[in-house]
Amino acid sequence: MFMTIVAAVVFIGLLFAGMAVGVILSNKPVKGSCGGLASLGMKQDCEICGGNDDECEENARKVNSEKAAALGKDVMKM
């Protein structure tokens, strides 16, 4: 009985780890399944894009490029 419980916990842990690796490797922002702010009528209140999806995408590209540049600088210090 104890081994069955241990095996189930290990199996579920591996499933969680696999999902986490998949999310990390896909390099996409995690999205809500119910529409997020838009479904609540609060899309205009977004502090980043103000409801403009193009601006939101541009901001994501800018942040990603800044992170990549910082990572490159860190690697060059080694």
| Inside any domain, residue 34 | no
Residue 11 predicted with pLDDT over 80: yes
| Inside any domain, residue 73 | yes
DSSP-assigned states of every residue in the chain:
-HHHHHHHHHHHHHHHHHHHHHHHHHT-----TT-GGGGGT-GGG-TTTTT-HHHHHHHHHHHHHHHHHHHHHHHHH-
Quote the pLDDT of residue 76.
61
Closest CA to 51 of 65, 66, 41, 61: 41
| Inside any domain, residue 57 | yes
| Inside any domain, residue 60 | yes
Q: How many domains does the chain have?
A: 1
Quote the pLDDT of residue 23.
82
| Inside any domain, residue 70 | yes
| Inside any domain, residue 18 | no
Residue-range definition of the domain harbouring residue 64: 50-78
| Inside any domain, residue 39 | no
Quote the pLDDT of residue 44.
59
pLDDT tens track for 18-59: 999 988 888 777 665 555 556 666 555 566 666 666 777 777
